[in-house]
């Protein structure tokens, strides 16, 4: 299946958010995830089914000023 991850087309076998993050080796990084512009709470990452063509935004916090 193909997803759009942070604006780039990516082929994946992952069918859920948690599997996608593991595949991309994010580990225990603090993240915010949106699927098709809707924020998905961390507690639902293992439940949300991904579909071919979904747009995923993976947002990591940054410090600065």
For 2-59, which CATH superfamily applies? Beta-grasp domain (3.10.20.30)
Q: What is the mean pLDDT of residues 31-59?
A: 96
Q: What is the mean pLDDT of residues 55-65?
A: 84
Residue 65's pLDDT is 61
Q: How many CA atoms lie within 13 A of 2 on its CB side?
A: 5
Residue 62's pLDDT is 74
pLDDT in tens, 15-39: 999 999 999 998 888 899 999 999 9
pTM above threshold 0.85 = yes
């Amino acid at each position: 299946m193909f997803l759009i991850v942070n604006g780039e087309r990516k082929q994946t076998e992952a069918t859920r958010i948690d599997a996608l993050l593991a595949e991309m080796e994010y580990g225990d990084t603090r993240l915010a995830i949106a699927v098709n512009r809707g924020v998905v709470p961390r507690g639902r990452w293992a439940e949300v089914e991904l579909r071919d063509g979904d747009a995923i935004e993976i947002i990591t916090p940054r410090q600065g000023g």
